[in-house]
Homo-oligomer: A and B are copies of this chain.
């Protein structure tokens, strides 16, 4: 049992479960609530899970339901959850790409031992430092805008700047306004810094560290960094153009905006599907086509070792290259003169298909629990929870408690599951003692 828990792939699920439990207890306390009395169990569980898993889906109006203490708790849980996922996923990712098991490495009685531990400490410190610097910059810009542009008191401007900045960089998605950022739809000084914060947070530290060292030399980038950078650009442009084109004339979303505001709004919504979770237009009023494409973008998510959810950019594009190689009849999957390990291909496939299965099951559960919701909204909400995005067509607050529990499970499994699965076999020490004879069933 103890040995099981020590497996690095199992640390993340256990740590997040502990955080959710502690968070739920604290959010239930009367001190967390604006009105008197304890918050209902499912409301506290949902909010704590949503904060720890940096999702941002909410069953109540965040800004008015919780007390300042409660809002502080949401901020702390988001920060711990976001930092935790970045640190753990980055460490696991680095270990995997170096093909070394954590236990074996730490226990090796060689001179490298101290060096390795020091490496890890330095890496963690750098992740924390980069996060705080980014958050501080965003908080200053947004806070100044609140103070100077909206005549907030200095204290309120600071608080709202810090709150939304932490939510943005950690891809948290909670907002203090019941309409998220909709009242700021045309305000570059609010939307741009928060969108850029979400983008930075969604790249992931394995890539940030590599870019910091070698940003001038794209030829030397690892396949992981290439896939993440180019994947972000390709999907970003695709989503931007699609949202802009399909919502341009929608009278309930982009219709009334000038063209400059349309561009800003398309950029903002596009970025937010990459697990940001803020929205400056109403997703519930969007076309079915935009909802469907947004669902796909949410499902894919951002970079590995980031605060983004979803199956991750590398997983998606790696699978695209696998399919390309298969169609061409090539025995190896090659990306930029590097052959992709077969175990990595299998991991990517597992992460993607388990994601589909999870979202599918969650959607079916939502449909069975609430007969009034339509399939497009059920899929959107289930994907938003699984990929810890936090965007909503508006059905979450009115779901029965059982439906909210479905979303809680999706958020938790979506947050820790892809990491656990993605690292399970790579860090496994199980030996191949005996191989069975090979067989090739017919597929297709």
**Which A residues are within 8 Å of any B CB, using their own CB?**
89, 92-93, 96-97, 99, 206, 222-224, 227, 246, 288-289, 292-293, 296, 304-305, 311-312, 314-315, 318-319, 322-323, 326-327, 329-332, 334-335, 337-354, 356, 360, 363-364, 367-368, 374-376, 379, 418-419, 421-426, 428, 430, 432, 435-444
Partner of A289, one of B222, B367, B436: B367
Q: A289-B368, A331-B425 are in contact. List 16 more A-B contacts (CB 8 A).
A: A93-B442, A223-B439, A304-B443, A314-B441, A318-B443, A319-B353, A322-B346, A326-B350, A331-B432, A335-B439, A337-B436, A339-B438, A340-B439, A344-B441, A344-B443, A423-B444
The residue of chain B having its C-beta at the shortest distance from the C-beta of A349 within the complex is B349
* Shortest CB distance A363–B (Å): 7
The residue of chain B having its C-beta at the shortest distance from the C-beta of A323 within the complex is B350
* Shortest CB distance A416–B (Å): 10
The residue of chain B having its C-beta at the shortest distance from the C-beta of A94 within the complex is B442
Q: Which residues of B contact A312 (CB under 8 A)?
A: 442-444
- The answer for the CA separation of A99 and B441 in the assembled complex, in Å, is 11
* Shortest CB distance A127–B (Å): 15
Partner of A341, one of B344, B347, B440: B440
Q: Which residues of B contact A330 (CB under 8 A)?
A: 425, 430
- The answer for the CA separation of A265 and B430 in the assembled complex, in Å, is 49
Copies of the chain in the assembly: 2
A323 touches B222 (CB 8 A): no
Partner of A441, one of B318, B419, B425: B318
A340 touches B441 (CB 8 A): yes
Partner of A296, one of B339, B346, B360: B360
Q: Which residues of B contact A315 (CB under 8 A)?
A: 443-444
Would you list 8 pairs from A and B whose C-beta atoms are within 8 A, ordered by A residue?
A: A293-B364, A304-B441, A318-B443, A319-B349, A332-B432, A339-B439, A376-B376, A422-B443
* Shortest CB distance A411–B (Å): 16
A352 touches B350 (CB 8 A): no
A364 touches B424 (CB 8 A): no
B322 touches A349 (CB 8 A): yes
Whether A329 touches B441, Cβ cut-off 8 Å, given contacts A292-B367, A349-B349, A435-B339, is: no
Q: Which residues of B contact A304 (CB under 8 A)?
A: 441-444
B314 touches A437 (CB 8 A): no
- The answer for the CA separation of A356 and B289 in the assembled complex, in Å, is 16
A344 touches B223 (CB 8 A): no
* Shortest CB distance A383–B (Å): 13
A350 touches B331 (CB 8 A): no
- The answer for the CA separation of A375 and B437 in the assembled complex, in Å, is 45
* Shortest CB distance A441–B (Å): 4
Q: Which residues of B contact A206 (CB under 8 A)?
A: 442
The residue of chain B having its C-beta at the shortest distance from the C-beta of A314 within the complex is B441
- The answer for the CA separation of A246 and B296 in the assembled complex, in Å, is 28
Which 3 pairs from chain A and chain B are nearest by CB? A422-B444, A329-B428, A93-B442
- The answer for the CA separation of A304 and B364 in the assembled complex, in Å, is 28
